[in-house]
Structure 1
Amino acid sequence: MTEPTVLAFEDREYTLAELEALTCGLARVLVDRGVGPGDRVALMSSNRPEFVVAYRAIDRLGAVVVLLSPAWKSGEVEHALRLTEPAFAVGDNPVLAAAVPMLHLDDPIEPHHGDFTATPVDPDADALLVFSSGTTGLPKAVRHTRSSFAAAVGHWQQVLGLTADDRLQIVTPPSHILGLLNIATVLDAGGWMRLHRRFDLDTMLKSIERDRITVEMAVAPIALAIASHPDLESFDLSSLRYIMWGATPVTASVAETVTRRTGVTWLPAYGASEVPVITCNPVGDARLDSVGVPAPGVELRIVELGTDREVPAGETGEIQVRSPSAMAGYLPDDATAGAFCDGWYRTGDVGWLDADGRLRITDRAKDMIKVNGFQVAPAEVEAVLHGHPDIADCAVFGTKNGAAGETVVAAIATTATLDPDDISTYVAERLASYKRPGRVIFVPDIPRLPSGKVLRRQLEERHGRTSDH
């Protein structure tokens, strides 16, 4: 009997045995390069089968995967490397190759079909470092242990109801927690997946039809693109059980348009890099106005803002989470203390639990800007802007932008005559493209507290709805 395939990429398909042989082959190469248990290995790659092989090989050795975004520029990569101090690097990105010696994924991987036993590692040892920007500085590395990431995979499989019969496609970047979680969960469930080098709407819709995809993952821009497709009805999407909506709040009108035109329903869910699976709607009983109920084994509480006093159901406050999938902490270490309250992770999000135990998110206490599912730290963009010779002061905040989630807005105080497009380009040359300001406004001064803290809310109230340039 022919062994079934588990992974497809363009015209190539892989069986589990082929993936395993490539994993063992790459693991042997890494051992020869001196990689062992506990060593950190930077992985910066596009969405391709070799990424899956590299992730599994590093994990097999008991080493720690340090995920770097392929969208990052040299300054962002250098910061990540200083913070995590990896012993080795694997990838396909010239920015990483220029920073450290890198094993290139374009080089052929020699399969190894012999025994290669996984290295026993303490479940509490680090397994994964994934980056999540804070609001008060450069990106932090989120530390997931072997047990915490395994718990996240188990939670994701449970809430999505994934089985060996499910077929998914991966269009989100593998360096993002959702992309990696999807890959790991499909393999754990024994399902099938297709990787796409990049997102293309027609390719995605054709793949649903051709590959009989059963579960589709979408962030807001993908949802909007589906809803706006002029020929959506021409695609056979009948294989889909649902489309999962994550990373940003559901835009009900967009979701309802897709359901009306295709018959496919949605499954809103909620998670974070620090706790990958927090809530999800029950399969078959999903609602667009809620991110669902806690995953099995996950505890939620709502506390009064500023006091950590728990409030009853129906009252609004900060959402806090206790879960076996919660991160072990951040790098740098000193950022960890403020992230927890007696073992509860502070999400910084504001919401309330209804009588049925479903969570409603109403606002965000943090200043983080979410653009197309990615998090942007205002302080990181401000640090770049402060380097411009003609900018006297600046502040960055987000405003709502429909399906994209939010737009990055830069408020600039200057005595020179500057072109807003030039300012956006200045940032884009130094940071990933999703961090560039979508709007630039010029103000006489930046409102601040005596401590120097920017009053972003004031800026948003004054300029959030005005035209930019």
Structure 2
Amino acid sequence: MSPGSKSGALDFEGRSYSRNDLDDLAAGLADELAAEGVRTGDRVALMSSNRPEFVIAVLAIWRLGAAVVLLSPAWKHDEVAHALAVTAPTRAVGDNPVLGALLPMRDLDHPISPRAADAASPDPAADAVLVFSSGTTGLPKAVRHTHASLAFGVRQWIEVLGLTGADRIQIATPPSHILGLLNIVTALEAGAWMRLHRRFDLDTMLGCIQDDRITIEMAVAPIALAIASHPKLETFDLSSLRYIMWGATPVTAAVAEQVTARTGVRWLPAYGASELPVIACNPLDGARLDTVGKAAPGVRVRVVSLDTGAVLAPGETGEIQCRADSVMAGYLPAEATASAFDDGWYRTGDVGHVDDDGWIRLTDRAKEMIKVRGFQVAPAEIEAVLHGHPLVRDCAVFGVPAEDGESVVAAVAVVDTAAVAVVDTAADILTEDELIDLVGARLATYKRPRRVVFVPEIPRLPSGKVLRRVLKERYGRPSDQ
């Protein structure tokens, strides 16, 4: 997409950059890459920590009419090798030796010489970015966004957030994830001030809200959990915040309500995907925690039966499907694209319903639904109950094979307490039976966990999505009950 022409500023570890600074540095880096053979239509891999040079590299690659292939800096050799095999970039830019060992890489730790930037207008139909899907159920696929689809998503994000040049945000989420990239590009386009953090640190984040007078905070589930459990949260002045956006996973109401009760800051739940960055958002006035909101401007939503594929009436539960100009151009490998669409509608894989007034409620992922004696059980519903227990720090629910289909297993991480030794047991302070009974008292009998395993941490992606396949591998022995 076009870099835009708005003024604004980026701060990072004591240094400030104007928009002109970023553009001039991007023009200089683009000259370097062009001299190394990067041409219009090429793909350039980018594997970098959250830093100004990441932003500069994205803008430089776009200036050349090339596409950015975003790689997570947390990936190891085999993961990077898979991503490169799928996308076939010709060059690399970054600060990670794993990438440098696999592809000629321009090291971002080396200085960039700026030059006066001229106008740059990439082809709207050309690929802008390839970002990898979360890979919660298998090897990740590359999601292709054109300059046109990304630009449309940015305009949607500006509108639903009510973002203006007067806003101040900070970004600690990984830039290789669609939400991190979307936040950065949106701030540049709106002319908002932003602070980048090399890595997430809760005290630093809270301190910057206070000192920088941040107006909008972006959060995913791990950040929300960390805020809610901070023992000294009340000592930070968070009064500048208009709201905290909760995205990437459905809101855990008990966690959100705890933060609001302690700080007075409200939440703005939103919903998107790598394939369609902005699907829905709550209204700025009257946001609710029980829904991801209503469809964003330009997004059409329908719900279809999980069994027959028939379009369902308002209030009926099935797979959420969408149409929008911001939807991806397709996947790599290309053969994966066809199954992502149903007669032109993007299949989110999320299960939920839309009521008569357009409010969208998600219950779970279609591939993560647990079938217990013929009943569909949504892990998120059980997790919401478990999160309500004061001694549950985090949790995730998954299914394991059983004679009658599947049985429910809950993995639970308890609060940090000296009285608890977490080695598959927390009996000193919390018991398996107590949690099973808690769910049984709130939900139907068939939704009760058959087993609870106490774990040190719940494995999550940086976006907050639970890696249920990892839990199944570690704790998913078939049930014999």
Regarding TM over 0.5, the answer is: yes
In the TM superposition, 1:207-218 aligns within 5 A as 207-218=208-219
* Displacement after TM superposition at 1:20 (Å): 1.4
Report the equivalent of 1:80.
Answer: 83
Deviations, residues 3-38 of structure 1 (Å, cap 9, x unaligned): 986100011111112111111111111111111111
CA distance in 2, matches of 1:109, 1:208: 30
Relative to structure 1, the CA distance from residue 74 to residue 368 in structure 2 (aligned partners, 3 Å threshold; closer, same or farther) is farther
Matched letter for residue 113 of structure 2: E
* Displacement after TM superposition at 1:233 (Å): 1.3
Matched letter for residue 236 of structure 1: D
* Displacement after TM superposition at 1:408 (Å): 8.4
Deviations, residues 192-241 of structure 1 (Å, cap 9, x unaligned): 10000111111000000110100001111211111111211111111100
CA distance in 2, matches of 1:130, 1:11: 29
- Report if aligned partners of 2:62, 2:122 keep a CA contact under 8 Å in 1: no
3-state SS of 2:270 partner? strand
- Report if aligned partners of 2:45, 2:91 keep a CA contact under 8 Å in 1: yes
- Report if aligned partners of 1:37, 1:121 keep a CA contact under 8 Å in 2: no
Relative to structure 1, the CA distance from residue 367 to residue 106 in structure 2 (aligned partners, 3 Å threshold; closer, same or farther) is same
Matched letter for residue 57 of structure 2: A
Alignment match of 1:65 (pick from 59, 68, 71): 68
Deviations, residues 346-390 of structure 1 (Å, cap 9, x unaligned): 111111112221101112212499xxxxxxxxxxxxxxxxxxxxx
Relative to structure 1, the CA distance from residue 26 to residue 18 in structure 2 (aligned partners, 3 Å threshold; closer, same or farther) is same
- Report if aligned partners of 1:407, 1:437 keep a CA contact under 8 Å in 2: no
Report the equivalent of 1:92.
Answer: 95
Report the equivalent of 1:354.
Answer: 355
CA distance in 2, matches of 1:4, 1:139: 36
Matched letter for residue 105 of structure 1: L
3-state SS of 1:142 partner? strand
- Report if aligned partners of 2:7, 2:191 keep a CA contact under 8 Å in 1: no
Report the equivalent of 1:108.
Answer: 111
Percentage of pairs with the same residue? 63
Report the equivalent of 2:447.
Answer: none
CA distance in 1, matches of 2:176, 2:261: 33
CA distance in 2, matches of 1:351, 1:122: 37
3-state SS of 1:156 partner? helix
Relative to structure 1, the CA distance from residue 196 to residue 301 in structure 2 (aligned partners, 3 Å threshold; closer, same or farther) is same
Report the equivalent of 1:318.
Answer: 319
Report the equivalent of 2:175.
Answer: 174
In the TM superposition, 1:122-137 aligns within 5 A as 122-133=123-134, 137=138
- Report if aligned partners of 2:247, 2:271 keep a CA contact under 8 Å in 1: yes
Report the equivalent of 2:408.
Answer: none
Report the equivalent of 1:267.
Answer: 268
- Report if aligned partners of 1:267, 1:286 keep a CA contact under 8 Å in 2: yes
Deviations, residues 158-211 of structure 1 (Å, cap 9, x unaligned): 100100001000010000000000000000000010000111111000000110
Farther off after superposition, 399-408 or 80-89: 399-408
Report the equivalent of 1:43.
Answer: 46
* Displacement after TM superposition at 1:102 (Å): 0.3
1:25 aligns with 2:59: no
Report the equivalent of 1:250.
Answer: 251
**TM-score, scaled to structure 2:** 0.78
Relative to structure 1, the CA distance from residue 206 to residue 334 in structure 2 (aligned partners, 3 Å threshold; closer, same or farther) is same
- Report if aligned partners of 2:243, 2:267 keep a CA contact under 8 Å in 1: yes
CA distance in 2, matches of 1:182, 1:135: 23
Matched letter for residue 192 of structure 2: G
Report the equivalent of 1:144.
Answer: 145
Farther off after superposition, 128-137 or 189-198: 128-137
CA distance in 1, matches of 2:67, 2:394: 32
Deviations, residues 37-75 of structure 1 (Å, cap 9, x unaligned): 110000000000000000111111110000000000000
Relative to structure 1, the CA distance from residue 88 to residue 291 in structure 2 (aligned partners, 3 Å threshold; closer, same or farther) is same
Relative to structure 1, the CA distance from residue 152 to residue 5 in structure 2 (aligned partners, 3 Å threshold; closer, same or farther) is closer
- Report if aligned partners of 1:243, 1:265 keep a CA contact under 8 Å in 2: yes
Report the equivalent of 1:441.
Answer: 475
- Report if aligned partners of 2:316, 2:354 keep a CA contact under 8 Å in 1: yes
CA distance in 2, matches of 1:124, 1:5: 27
* Displacement after TM superposition at 1:410 (Å): 9.6
CA distance in 1, matches of 2:102, 2:369: 28
- Report if aligned partners of 1:410, 1:441 keep a CA contact under 8 Å in 2: no
Matched letter for residue 341 of structure 2: F
**TM-score, scaled to structure 1:** 0.80
Report the equivalent of 1:14.
Answer: 17
CA distance in 1, matches of 2:395, 2:294: 22
Q: Please give the root-mean-square deviation of Cα atoms over the aligned residues, in Å.
A: 2.8
Report the equivalent of 1:448.
Answer: none
CA distance in 2, matches of 1:275, 1:303: 18
* Displacement after TM superposition at 1:306 (Å): 3.2
Report the equivalent of 2:119.
Answer: 117
5+ long unaligned stretches in structure 2: 1-5, 371-378, 388-392, 402-422, 425-454
3-state SS of 2:131 partner? strand
Relative to structure 1, the CA distance from residue 102 to residue 110 in structure 2 (aligned partners, 3 Å threshold; closer, same or farther) is same
Report the equivalent of 1:55.
Answer: 58
* Displacement after TM superposition at 1:308 (Å): 2.4
* Displacement after TM superposition at 1:116 (Å): 3.1
Relative to structure 1, the CA distance from residue 409 to residue 75 in structure 2 (aligned partners, 3 Å threshold; closer, same or farther) is farther
CA distance in 2, matches of 1:301, 1:340: 13
CA distance in 1, matches of 2:114, 2:200: 29
Report the equivalent of 1:387.
Answer: none
